[in-house]
Amino acid sequence: MTDRKYVYLFPEGDKDQKDLLGGKGANLAEMTNLGLPVPPGFTITTQACNDYIQGGTTMPEGLLDQVQSALRQVEEQTGKSLGDPERPLLADSCLIDYPLSRRRLLCFGRGRCL
């Protein structure tokens, strides 16, 4: 298992980590730390996506475990579950374009990149 941290819960990040968390992730972390009303969540780092590309579109070691752990924490905090029809946890996703490599990744909250 790798020691690399690929997943940050919002309270673990801050505005100075834009290179690692992306602009949206760093700003959500900062707003959380300021006490603004931000729902619980997490960000998959840009390093995870870079390692995915460099690994020939292979999921980086440890990423899925980290996503599952963060997801469990968010589910506990909200009382909702991903895929639960009664109390669904909604997940945001991001589309990442790599124009030089002609690749598009669609990264979902469950750590799946397509």
Q: What is the pLDDT along the chain (114 residues), one digit of tens a residue?
A: 568 999 999 999 999 999 999 898 999 999 999 999 999 999 999 999 899 889 887 889 999 999 899 999 999 999 999 888 899 888 776 544 444 444 444 444 444 444
How confident is the model at residue 82, as a pLDDT? 84
- Whether 73 is covered by a domain: the verdict is yes
How confident is the model at residue 114, as a pLDDT? 45
From residue 1, give the alpha-carbon distance in Å to each of 4, 11, 46, 102.
9, 24, 19, 30
How confident is the model at residue 91, as a pLDDT? 76
Number of domains present in the structure of the chain: 1
- Whether 2 is covered by a domain: the verdict is no
Q: Read off the tokens for 52.
A: 């995915």
How confident is the model at residue 57, as a pLDDT? 79
Cβ pair 77, 43 in contact under 8 A: no
How confident is the model at residue 33, as a pLDDT? 96
pTM for the model:
0.78
- Whether 50 is covered by a domain: the verdict is yes
Q: For position 45, which CATH number holds?
A: 3.30.1490.20
How confident is the model at residue 75, as a pLDDT? 92
Residue type (1 letter), 78: T
How confident is the model at residue 104, as a pLDDT? 43
How confident is the model at residue 94, as a pLDDT? 55
- Whether 72 is covered by a domain: the verdict is yes
Number of residues assigned to the chain: 114
All residues at 6 or more sequence positions from 73 whose CB lies less than 8 Å from its CB, including other chains: 9, 40, 42
Say which DSSP state 17 is in: G
Distance CA(65)–CA(21), nearest Å, equals: 18
Which among 111, 102, 105 has a CA at the least distance from the CA of 45?
111
